[in-house]
């Protein structure tokens, strides 16, 4: 098991918890919770594999993901009262998942021989898609559409990854630094209500 596999498991776990929380919040039944947890956790990676042409997509290649997500779902249900303060827990796990899946997406792009800027775009799509699909299925406003910086944190992380990569830094450090940067950006932004410029349109009809 490589360091990369560990990251994959952590990201899957974080997104599965965020999916299970959303589904419980929506009062879905047992299997409904599992389905949303599953789709949230594998959504980004599936999108990535389909776009690159890596099929059957990776969650089909072995049963690790499905058993992991099943266990996480059961644990999330059992300890749902510890995951209290839904909004905060959801935010935290969603952010961890975003960070990890972004770098997995960027890495996949590099390995497929794609241009750096394309790899950054692939990373952002991989990181964001799980959360977007979770929100669409749960009838929430998609995360990338909310005021908190989301895609921006992912793209900033992708750029950081590429810069470090060009300096030939040890990949494991790159993974850790980039993931932490993405998580940090999102935490700081929400905590201090930082925001990027918004461009309003003149009143029109």
Q: What is the DSSP track for 74-100? A: HHHHHTTTTT-SHHHHHHHHHHHHHHH
For residue 60, give Cα distances in angstroms to 18, 52, 135, 186.
Answer: 22, 16, 23, 31
Q: Is 133 exposed, middle or buried (0-12, 13-18, 19+ CB in 10 A)?
A: buried
196 scored as a contact of its own copies (CB under 8 A) = yes
Interacting residue with its own copies among 4, 9, 10, 51 (CB under 8 A): 51
Residues 6+ away with beta carbon under 8 Å from 108: 48, 52, 54, 119, 122, 126
**Least Å distance between CB 105 and its own copies?**
12
Backbone angles phi, psi at 143, to 5 degrees: -50, -40
27 scored as a contact of its own copies (CB under 8 A) = yes
Interacting residue with its own copies among 9, 10, 28, 177 (CB under 8 A): 28
- The pair of structure tokens assigned to 197 is 């410029």
Interacting residue with its own copies among 14, 37, 96, 132 (CB under 8 A): 132
33 scored as a contact of its own copies (CB under 8 A) = yes
DSSP strands (E only) in 152-191:
none
60 scored as a contact of its own copies (CB under 8 A) = yes
Considering beta carbons, is residue 3 or 61 the nearer one to its own copies?
61
**Least Å distance between CB 86 and its own copies?**
5
184 scored as a contact of its own copies (CB under 8 A) = no
Interacting residue with its own copies among 17, 92, 137, 182 (CB under 8 A): 137
Residues 6+ away with beta carbon under 8 Å from 133: 39, 40, 43
Q: Which residues bind its own copies (CB under 8 A)?
A: 21, 24-33, 35, 38, 46, 50-53, 55-57, 59-60, 62-63, 66-67, 77, 80-81, 83-87, 109, 112, 114-115, 117-118, 121-122, 124, 128, 132, 136-139, 141-142, 144-145, 149, 151-152, 155, 195-202, 204-205
């Amino acid at each position: 098991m490589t360091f990369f596999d560990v990251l994959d498991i952590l990201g899957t776990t974080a997104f599965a918890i965020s999916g299970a929380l959303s589904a419980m919040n929506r009062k879905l039944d047992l299997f409904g919770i599992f389905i949303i947890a599953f789709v949230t956790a594998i959504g980004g990676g599936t999108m990535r594999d389909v776009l690159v042409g890596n099929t059957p997509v990776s969650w089909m290649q072995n049963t690790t993901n499905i058993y992991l997500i099943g266990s996480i779902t059961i644990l999330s249900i059992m300890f749902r009262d510890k995951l209290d303060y839904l909004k905060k827990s959801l935010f935290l796990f969603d952010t961890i998942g975003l960070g990890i899946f972004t770098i997995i997406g960027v890495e996949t792009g590099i390995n497929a021989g794609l241009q750096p800027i394309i790899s950054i775009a692939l990373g952002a799509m991989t990181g964001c898609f799980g959360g977007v699909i979770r929100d669409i299925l749960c009838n929430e406003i998609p995360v990338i559409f909310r005021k908190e910086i989301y895609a921006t944190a992912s793209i900033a992380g992708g750029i950081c990854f590429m810069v470090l990569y060009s300096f030939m830094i040890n990949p494991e450090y790159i993974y850790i630094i980039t993931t932490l940067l993405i998580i940090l950006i999102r935490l700081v932004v929400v905590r201090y209500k930082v925001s990027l410029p918004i461009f309003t349109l003149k009143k029109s009809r």
